[in-house]
Structure 1
């Protein structure tokens, strides 16, 4: 008789053995509510978002995509109270996690949480860690307790640094937090642990019903025993937070840095210590970057910084060009031979406060007249800014410059200079503080009444000025705007 082939049978039993080792081990029924996962290859977890279980048995909460989040829950609910009006029972949990990033910086972190529902679809990624959103963060109606492993410092939540462990109640402003690490049992010294170091670490979370105290302890995976001193110890009565029935699980999120968050093993128990996780059975973290991680300074800050520098240079160039065109002027060769001093548009612009309406003296047939004070000499001036639709064109403008600039008579307002800019025609006169004659003759605001002697002097002055223009100067100038 031929000998039967035992290889398929052996493989079958080996497969059953492996499934049994990686499956959750429920102990003593539903009353004690204990479980332990030494790997998640055959675990029946409730997953959503980017969460998945890898072929090797790793619980991958985020898969390296940016602005993502993932959730994983133990399928069975927890009965947290032993009687309807009782307080929340003591519980303990432990888990092994690892954070992988191609940079020496990761985002944003993960949490172990207890919530009234497995539905966190309204939560947001990035700084909200897949737990809350901008509207419900901090609401007492959330009924959520969480321990955060945060690798990003958010000032809005009062984070102490970019590498900390915190106890959260209904929101992300931690009740208590501490830089990630552990205290040595021998001498009590603190040793820092980097959450995003690509190394597996173990965390213990304990709630004492009698003391209403939450303790969080962590250690590197190569430590065989749990440190005696927790890094976070917070007094808080969870009976005022958690519902009678709740679910325990994990949440995680990423921001702009591609990061993978893993859970390797997990255990939980009510009214007793969490079962010990068999560390020898845990799957290994992936080692996708054997040559070491790249610096986020080179890959992120450098491109962003370059873009900022280029944008800044562009903005500076734009402002310089804008400034140039704001004060740009028109200059022609014929202007050299004329006597009146040419003012820069920039000086006139600042002298009149940018031609503000409060400095407007009046509006004539040829344009608006503004009062101004030259910044350097403090000389008061009047600037006639010929409007674009004025009938007085360039020819008349030049004639006025040539003619009035040479006039010398005490009854004529001296022309101090001019400016040309983008079709704008500007004449600069000496400022007459007493204003126009019509205000004294017809104005209602000023109660000053001119005597007949004063009126006679005014008439003589006007006549003298007109005589000078019409007959005494070398050229005949017809003046049609007497004020």
Structure 2
């Protein structure tokens, strides 16, 4: 009898779903009948947990029965409405996973979908296909330029693709006010979402607000969309979420849905609490025995002294620096003690690599179950405090899937530490030049080139400031578990505002990637990154370093060797011979010609990163040019630099650019 009563109580208080087949209500999910897959689960207190502490994983939760959205009388889509409350909690204050999507899908099986930027909805082959018949409202927390994202905190309406049909920065219009108030999707607070579709007007509205605020009358996002051809005869409703390099917990606290009506309001008082909202009871104190008080009075001073000595030594061992400038940066600061334990005391067996910048160690943050790479830099190294601050200021605020995430930093005495997400496949340099490593096929190489180009486009044109990397090379391109390219090491980076001129700076970089224009003017700009990226493209395609030596020890750049190969016959002869016949001829020629064009001695001729992406995506055709024109132009530039460089600081490129012109 009691067991039956408990079951009835559980249904009444935690599920509260309607007996009507066209609607349901979940005020918490304890005992809920949902179809879960991936890493999705239901916590003991009734939270629907779509993702957990795993990285690069996905989770799905669907209502088990399908709904029939088509109106049998006219074929149009019936009105529908859903309301849910979600919360996103990351292990880091400024980094997180890839967000949540409410989806209406023809199937509950999304096992072929990918995690990371694909949100567990699509993969790299079916994204954008009309055959998907997939509808979603994404709550996206990572900027992905390949999908045309507006920022890293937005809500979007997706139709068969992650390139949103319409999107808006996450926020709401408070009733009675004439302004838009932003909402941080990763604020670690519960947020309400309403998705309403008016079948008569074919209008879809998405409304957000913090938990506890009534539904605003004005939606956050609204669009006219005819879903009649998108929806099949039966569709499933549910949620999808995914993580990237940072473990993130995506939670749904409650969910209601109604077909041909307005979704029932959730009972906020019955929703389970997010895990960070804890309550602490009052502690009870007990009286000490008299004899213990006497003993403590006698030996207490000695105990205090020993504790003081121990603490002082402990503090000295883990002492850190904190200065005013650090308050300006939002990156997470780790304690030295935590990094020391994560790397097993910076033991040699954890060493990943060394260089002029210092040493890089592999580590494991046990409390977050997260692999990290810790870059340890000394003040007297080539990369000192000034470069360290630069890296925090730039990489610490960049958010792009082709840029290595900076998780945080630490300073201690004469040492500096940068903490990154660990890239399990290491640097691209090893895959290109280490005979022990497996050969990357052409598809992977082209994907790496496109990934680095996408990251540079974001840095040069799409971020709030212009970021010049100044050290683009294969060893600074890291590969994640899926061999996706991640541009890293921003220790030499420089920032300036859009529309302003970069300041004069010292010439830094790596031989073979350095732009001669930088040596002439002393001003770092995006064209220098363009030059280095041209050398990088040729290196990836040819499998040779940008600067090699002939047997007679004469300097030979890869640019000159490829140009020479082209003049003697065909560019295809410069391709890495390890690829054999497994390549696409048009793509190889495109990459090599683009690499030559981006290494052109006249900066104004080099295409911008936006143009490069259009060429790589084949949205526009690459202009035709001949190798003899390129060589003649290169020789003329060198001759002018030698003749005029010592007489004045500037000279005109007019005479040399006339030998090589393209239409844009």
Scaled by the length of structure 1, the TM-score of the pair is: 0.61
Aligned equivalents of 1:119 and 1:272: distance in 2?
A: 27
Shift of 1:222: 2.0
Are the aligned partners of 1:98 and 1:262 in contact in 2 as well (CA < 8 Å)?
yes
**Structure-to-structure mapping, 1:170-249, within 5 angstroms:** 170-223=160-213, 225-249=214-238
Q: CA deviation at 1:311?
A: 12
Other-structure match for 2:123: 133
Q: CA deviation at 1:310?
A: 8.9
Q: Per-residue displacement from partner, 1:135-163 (whole Å, max 9, x unpaired)? A: 11111111111100000111111100000
Partner in structure 1 of residue 523 of structure 2:
none
- Residue 24 of structure 1 contacts residue 36 of structure 1 at CA under 8 Å; is this kept in 2? yes
Give aligned pairs, total.
329
CA distance in 2, matches of 1:126, 1:46: 22
Deviations 1:327-354 (A, max 9, x none): 999xxxxxxxxxxxxxxx869x99xx99
Q: 2:149 aligns with which of 138, 159, 181?
A: 159
Within the alignment, does 1:44 sit opposite 2:33 as a pair? yes
CA distance in 2, matches of 1:124, 1:90: 31
Q: 2:430 maps to what in 1?
A: none
Task: Quote the offset at 1:14 in angstroms.
Answer: 5.0
Query: Corresponding residue for 1:255?
Result: 244
Name the residue aligned to 1:303.
419
The question of 1:149 aligning with 2:139 is answered yes
Cα deviation, residue 323, structure 1: 11
- Give the structure-2-normalised TM-score: 0.45
In the TM superposition, what are the counterparts of 1:24-173 in structure 2 within 5 Å?
Answer: 24-27=16-19, 29-30=20-21, 33-83=22-72, 86-103=75-92, 104-173=94-163
Asked whether the 8 Å contact 1:203–1:219 carries over to 2, the reply is yes
Alignment check: 8 A CA contact 1:84 1:244 kept = no
- Report how far residue 19 of structure 1 moved: 3.5
Distance in 2 of aligned mates of 1:212 and 1:19: 35
Q: CA deviation at 1:188?
A: 2.3
Distance 1:174 1:148 in 2: 9
* Cross-structure match for 1:279: 268
Structure 1 228/326 Cα, relative in aligned 2: closer, same or farther at 3 Å?
same
Whole-angstrom CA distance in 1 between matches of 2:196 and 2:407: 40
Aligned to 2:284: none
Long gaps (5+) in structure 2: 280-329, 335-395, 397-405, 410-417, 422-475, 477-487, 494-508, 515-544, 568-638, 643-664
- On the 8 A contact 2:70/2:77 being kept in 1, the answer is yes
| 1:202-256, Cα deviation, whole Å (9 max, x unpaired) | 0000000111010000100021x10001111011101111112100000001111
Structure with more of its chain in helix, by fraction: 2
Change (3 A) 1:310 1:87: closer
Q: How far apart, in 2, do the equivalents of 1:238 and 1:93 lie?
A: 16
| Deviation string, structure 1 residues 417-458 (Cα, Å, up to 9, x no partner) | xxxxxxxxxxxxxxxxxxxxxxxxxxxxxxxxxxxxxxxxxx
DSSP 3-state at the match of 1:22 = helix
Deviation (angstroms), 1:24 = 4.5
Q: Indicate the SS of the match to 1:203.
A: strand
Q: Retained in 1: the 8 A contact 2:331–2:407?
A: no
Alpha-carbon distance between aligned partners in 2 of 1:182 and 1:205, rounded to the nearest angstrom: 13
Q: 1:244/1:85 Cα in 2 relative to 1: closer, same or farther (>3 Å)? A: farther
1:21 aligns with 13
Equivalence for 2:254: 265
How far does residue 325 in structure 1 lie from its aligned partner after superposition? 10
CA contact (8 A) 2:143 2:150 kept: yes
Rounded to whole Å, the distance in 1 between the matches of 2:219 and 2:547 is 65
Distance in 2 (alpha carbons) for counterparts of 1:276 and 1:286: 23
SS in 2 for 1:127: helix
SS of the aligned residue for 1:248 comes to strand
Inter-CA distance 327–100: structure 2 relative to 1 (3 Å threshold): same
Give yes or no for contact 1:101–1:293 (8 Å, CA) kept in 2. Answer: no
Q: Report which structure shows greater RCO (CA 8 Å, sep ≥6).
A: 1
**Structure 1 pair 184–16 and aligned structure 2 pair: CA distance change class (3 A):** same
- The 1-side partners of 2:146 and 2:153 are apart by 16
Q: Check conservation: 1:102, 1:289, Cα contact below 8 A.
A: no
Offset at residue 13 of structure 1 (A)? 3.6
- Structure ID, larger Rg: 1
Change (3 A) 1:116 1:323: closer
Distance in 1 between residues matched to 2:218 and 2:491, nearest whole Å:
51
